[in-house]
Amino acid sequence: MITRSAPTWHTEDWQILLSGSVREPEALWRRLQLPPALLPAAWRGHQAFPVRVPEPYLEKIRPGVLDDPLLRQVLPVAEETRQTDGFVADPLQERQSRPRPGLLHKYQSRVLLVLSGACAVNCRYCFRRHFPYGDNRLSSGDFASISAYLQNHPEVNEVILSGGDPLVVSNARLRRLLDILDGIPSLRRLRIHTRLPVVIPQRVDAGLLAALERTRLAVVLVTHSNHPRELDPRFGQAMGQLRERGVHLLNQAVLLRGVNDSADTLVDHSEALFQHGVMPYYLHLLDPVAGAHHFDVPEAQARPLMAALHRRLPGFLIPRLVREVPGKAGKTLIDLHLS
């Protein structure tokens, strides 16, 4: 059972908020006043992929509302244990792109570093929910070998920090990595893919801002938000602090059934992102990972949603609808057949 005192909920220390996350279905049920009859099914989903939800995100969910789009993203359900044709453990075939633990080299000019296997929130649709992080986590002792690999691959000009969530690591560890990357002449950009500023905005603290401000690399931070209600004033404050340090801000979302599969929601989301200085980047079709089939929105349903966005939004606020196809040199843009 998870217990904590009320003051912990309102601390500005992101590590305390992270450690105080709800990690059991019973605690989630009590916190959000959910129907007890659904708890056994939730336990089956939890055993397939553990519950993890931090308090700042819980505060955005409406208690007792089962179809709340934010709740749906973190609620374990029995459907996650059902096998569905075409939905597999490694939908992007990432295990074939690992020249060494913690490093994925799928694209010629970019490498991805799995800086941590942990996340601040376990999203039920996560395409890496079955990823063997124990064999692929990048430790501080691996930094020298990563540096050697990059030195031997001068075609790489961008490093992407991913996970898990790369921002669950300490500022000190992040600074050590950035110092190494700064010393590799071929590198131009650092890209950070993270959901932490959405679910725990307090993560954007003075130490993180200082680390990003001092690197010579151009920093691109890609947030992961799927719904406008995730973007509260505290998120906006964090984005403003990042912009002041010259960080470029983008967002990628996943098109999810029951979460954001309506034109109104997608329009509101793009507008809310822009209000906080974040540009819509990608809208991903769901990666077919085992346990997430109930979130799938078919391509045929996605096209009219995008057509509505083209009618209602200026071009710069329309995310690109994409699918990731294993073995391709980049994301695959979906042809919208717009006339």
pLDDT confidence band for 141 (50 / 70 / 90): confident
Q: CATH no. for residue 191?
A: 3.20.20.70
Q: Which domain holds residue 58?
A: 6-81
Amino acid (one-letter) located at 322: V
Domain boundary residue among 31, 60, 81?
81
Which carries the bigger pLDDT value, residue 324 or residue 52?
Answer: 52
Mean pLDDT, rounded, for 314-326: 95
Mean pLDDT, rounded, for 109-123: 93
CA 31, CA 40: separation in Å to the nearest integer? 17
Domain boundary residue among 56, 81, 106?
81
Return the minimum-mean-pLDDT range out of 90-94, 186-190, 290-294.
Answer: 90-94
pLDDT 10s digits, 225-237: 999 999 999 999 9
Q: What is the number of other CB atoms lying within 10 angstroms of the CB of residue 3?
A: 6
pLDDT value of position 101: 75
pLDDT value of position 102: 83
152 part of a folded domain: yes
The answer to whether residues 186 and 283 belong to one domain is yes
pLDDT value of position 238: 98
The answer to whether residues 68 and 99 belong to one domain is no
88 part of a folded domain: no
CA 19, CA 54: separation in Å to the nearest integer? 8
Which carries the bigger pLDDT value, residue 311 or residue 335?
Answer: 311
pLDDT confidence band for 303 (50 / 70 / 90): very high
Mean pLDDT, rounded, for 191-218: 98
Of 230, 196, 197, 193, give the one whose Cα is nearest residue 73.
230
- The DSSP result for 259-289, as a single string, is TT-SHHHHHHHHHHHHHTT-EEEEEEPPP-B
pLDDT value of position 129: 81
User: In sequence order, what are the residues at sequence separation of 6 or more whose Cβ sits closer than 8 angstroms to the Cβ of residue 16?
Assistant: 8
Which carries the bigger pLDDT value, residue 291 or residue 132?
Answer: 291
pLDDT confidence band for 8 (50 / 70 / 90): very low
The answer to whether residues 150 and 276 belong to one domain is yes
DSSP 3-state assignment of 255? coil
pLDDT value of position 70: 98
Assess whether pLDDT exceeds 80 at residue 327.
no
The answer to whether residues 100 and 36 belong to one domain is no
Report whether 303 contacts 336 (CB < 8 A): yes
Domain boundary residue among 81, 114, 133?
81
